[in-house]
Amino acid sequence: MTGLQYMSGFGNEHVSEDPRCPGALPEGQNNPQVCPYGLYAEQLSGSAFTCPRPTNKRSWLYRILPSVCHKPFKPLEEGHLTHDWDEIEPDPNQLRWKPFEIPKAPQNKMDFVSGLHTLCGAGEPRGRNGIAVHIFVCNTSMIDRCLYNSDGDFLIVPQQGKLLITTEFGKMLVEPNEICVIQQGMRFSVEVFGETRGYILEVYGAHFELPDLGPIGANGLANPRDFLVPVAWYEDRQVPGGYTVISKYQGKLFAAQQDPSIFTVLTAKTTRAGVALADFVIFPPRWGVANNTFRPPYYHRNCMSEFMGLIKGHYEAKEEGFQPGGGSLHSMMTPHGPDADCFEKASKAKLEPERVADGTMAFMFESSLSLAVTKWGLQTSNRLDKNYYKCWEPLKSHFNPKYK
C-alpha cells in the first residue's frame, strides 16, 4: 500500500510529526504550559519510572483530546478469549490442529477483536508473569472502534490476508511473512481486505527484545534495522454513534465510548532492576518553579497500578471530588490526569514561583502488579464514586490546524 512511511530501528528513540502540522512537537521539553496547535501532552509509560536507562521505555504523544476523555468502561462479551487454564483437564498427548476456519461474511461478520480465540497459555495477567497463544480469524474491519491491551504485548503473525493497522503512533501494513509488535497500552485498530487469519503471542510482564548474539558473532540473527516504526499520523473526526475503545484488562474485555512516581519514601523491590513490587510515594507541600511548563501532573497511561489516598487538604490535579479519607485506583494503562478545570487554569496561569499543596498531604501506593478489586470495594462498601469520569467530560478540543 503506497503512502505509508516508516522509520527503522528496533528500540530506537524515534521522533516524528504529521507533515500537515509542522512544528507540532515542543522543542527542548516534553510538557509545555501550552502545546503547539492547542494539543494535549500525554505520556505512555512502558516501564517503571525508575528502570535503568537501557530498559526505561516511554513515549510522549500530543493529542487533540487526552485519552482520559471517555465514558465508563462496561464489560464486553469476550467470546473465546480467556486466561482460565483450569477450565479443562491437562492433556499430555501430542496435539495438532487443522487450519482454523474463517467465518463467511456477510452471514457472520467478525472483526479482529471478536475473532480472537485463545488456544493455550500459562500464568496470569494480574501477577504479570505468563504467556498466551491466540488465533485470530476475521472477515471485516474494525469500524469506529479500537483495542488496547492492558495485560501485555501482542506479537501478531498474519498467515492469510494483510492487516492495515492504525495505531496511536501511525499506520503500518503487515502482510504474511511479516510480524508486528503492539506493546502494552497502545491503542490500535485493524483493517482487513477479505478473509484473514493469523497467530498472536501475548506476553505478560515483559517486553520483547532482540536476543543476545553470543558465540554466533556480530552479524547473526535479526538486526535492529530490520524493524520498522510508523511515522506520526492523525485524524480529526466526529463519530455520530460514538467511537468505542476496547480494553483487554485482566483477561477480560471492556468497552467505553470515547467522547509519575515522585518523592518515593519506601520501595519493595522485585528481581527486575528498577521495577518495584510496591512503592510508597508522597506528594508533600513544595515549590513549583518550572518555566514554560504545564505544572500539574500530566495526562498519563502507566504500566503500573496507582492507588492514591488523601490525608488532608486538596490534591492539586483534582481539587473537587478527591476527598481526605477516600482514594482512587488507576489500573494498568487506564488513562488519568488533571480534570478540566485544572487543565484550563494551569494552561493560562502566569508562571511565577508558587507554593504547591500547602496544607495538603497525598500519597500513592504504586505497584507493578495488576490489582483486583474486591466485591466490598466495588459494591458492599457503597462508597464507589460512579460519577468520577465526569470530571474529564468538560475537556474540549483546542486543536487548530492553522497554528503558527
Which residues participate in the annotated binding site for Fe cation? Answer: 300, 306, 336
Q: Could you list the residues known to form a binding site, using ranges.
A: 300, 306, 315, 336
Contact at 8 Å (CB) between 63 and 39?
yes
Q: Residue 32 and residue 242: Cα distance in Å, rounded? A: 30
Residue 180 CA to residue 125 CA, distance in Å, equals: 21
**CB 266 within 8 Å of CB 367:** no
* Chain centroid offset of residue 295 CA: 23
Identify which of 115, 127, 261 has the alpha carbon closest to the alpha carbon of residue 190.
Answer: 115
Peptide bond just before 106 cis, omega within 30 deg: yes
* Whether 347 contacts 386, CB under 8 Å: no
Q: Which residue has the cell 507533515?
A: 19
* Binding-site entries for homogentisate: 315, 336
Which residue has 478540543 as its cell numbers?
Answer: 397
Q: Which of 82, 205, 83, 86 is nearest to 151 (CA)?
A: 205
Output the nine-digit C-alpha cell for 135: 488465533
Paired with 49 in beta bridges are: none
Contact 323, 310 (CB under 8 A): yes
- Find all residues with CB under 8 Å of 187, minimum gap 6, and list them: 67, 146, 147, 148, 167, 168, 245
What distance in Å separates the CA atoms of residue 173 and residue 17, rounded to the nearest whole number? 19
Instruction: State the cell numbers at 374.
Output: 474486591
